[in-house]
């Protein structure tokens, strides 16, 4: 398997891991939390949500049937502008410094952050509103729309098959030998260890673990 594909999958995993971690924090954010923490949870959720969407678009460059990837995502929001709102909310947080936790309500011991009434595009010419009251509700909707779309496009490219995630032994050995930051003694130990183990079995186990984690992050 080519290294760029592994880099892509690892990047996608990072975005999804961070998104899901931030989502759990948003859902369970207790009253009395530090304001910076609340801001960070929402920043990380929306920035990594769209990081996952954009890395799919930029790396797989869907054509034909898969060209409808973003269309499928948008359909998950029904006949609303919630997708555009979420996208511009992310842009406003990342690029324009909007506070994602400017206002909220307490629901028992949990903080629910309110959706900003409107968000604007970069030029300030278009304004979008949201059908949800709280950002956690918008995030739940985003997950429901994005997860199946990502799963399907990965499946159509064969990227959920462990065989597509394995790395050849020669590729691994060459990478170790060429590693500039790895000391020679460590290279010697690594090359010796790889020569004594069942490399194919190890590679298959690593690939299966990566795929299972990816599926789990997408709710499968």
Same domain? For 115 and 189 the reply is no
pLDDT value for 1: 40
The C-alpha atoms of residue 145 and residue 137 are separated, in whole angstroms, by 13
Same domain? For 115 and 104 the reply is yes
pLDDT value for 66: 47
pLDDT value for 151: 94
Same domain? For 155 and 185 the reply is no
Same domain? For 138 and 60 the reply is yes
Is residue 119 helix, strand or coil? strand
Residue ending a domain, choose from 111, 143, 159: 159
Same domain? For 134 and 119 the reply is yes
Helix (H) or strand (E) holding 10: helix 3-27
Is residue 11 helix, strand or coil? helix
Q: What is the DSSP letter of 163?
A: G
Q: What is the DSSP letter of 104?
A: E
* pTM of the full structure: 0.83
Same domain? For 19 and 106 the reply is yes
134 bridge partner residues: 114
> Per-block average pLDDT, block size 10, for the chain (220 residues)?
72 96 96 93 96 90 63 90 94 90 90 93 88 96 95 88 63 62 70 62 73 91
Same domain? For 75 and 172 the reply is no
Query: Which pair of tokens denotes residue 73?
Result: 């995502």
Same domain? For 134 and 57 the reply is yes
pLDDT value for 2: 46
Query: Which CA distances in Å does 33 have to 100, 101, 116?
Result: 15, 12, 20
Same domain? For 60 and 148 the reply is yes
The C-alpha atoms of residue 130 and residue 133 are separated, in whole angstroms, by 8
Same domain? For 103 and 48 the reply is yes
Same domain? For 142 and 170 the reply is no
Same domain? For 56 and 128 the reply is yes
pLDDT value for 147: 96
- Please state the domain count of the chain: 2
The separation between CA 174 and the C-alpha centre of its own chain, rounded to angstroms, equals 30
Task: Show the domain range for 192.
Answer: 162-220
């Amino acid at each position: 398997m080519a290294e760029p594909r592994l880099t892509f999958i690892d990047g996608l995993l990072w975005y999804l891991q961070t998104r899901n971690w931030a989502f759990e924090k948003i859902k369970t954010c207790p009253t009395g939390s530090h304001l910076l923490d609340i801001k960070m949870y929402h920043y990380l959720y929306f920035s990594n949500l769209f990081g996952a969407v954009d890395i799919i678009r930029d790396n797989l460059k869907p054509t034909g049937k898969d060209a409808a990837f973003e269309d499928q995502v948008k359909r998950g929001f029904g006949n609303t502008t919630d997708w555009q709102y979420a996208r511009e909310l992310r842009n406003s947080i990342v690029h324009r410094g909007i506070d994602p936790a400017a206002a909220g309500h307490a629901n028992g011991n949990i903080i629910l952050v309110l959706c900003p009434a409107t968000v604007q595009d970069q030029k300030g010419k278009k304004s979008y509103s949201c059908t949800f009251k709280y950002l956690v509700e918008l995030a739940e909707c985003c997950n429901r729309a994005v997860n199946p779309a990502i799963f399907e496009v990965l499946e159509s490219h064969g990227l959920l098959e462990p065989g597509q995630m394995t790395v050849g032994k020669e590729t691994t050995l060459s990478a170790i030998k060429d590693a500039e930051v790895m000391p020679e003694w460590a290279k010697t130990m690594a090359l010796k260890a790889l020569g004594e183990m069942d490399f194919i079995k190890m590679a298959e186990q690593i690939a299966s673990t990566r795929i299972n984690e990816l599926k789990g992050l997408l709710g499968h």
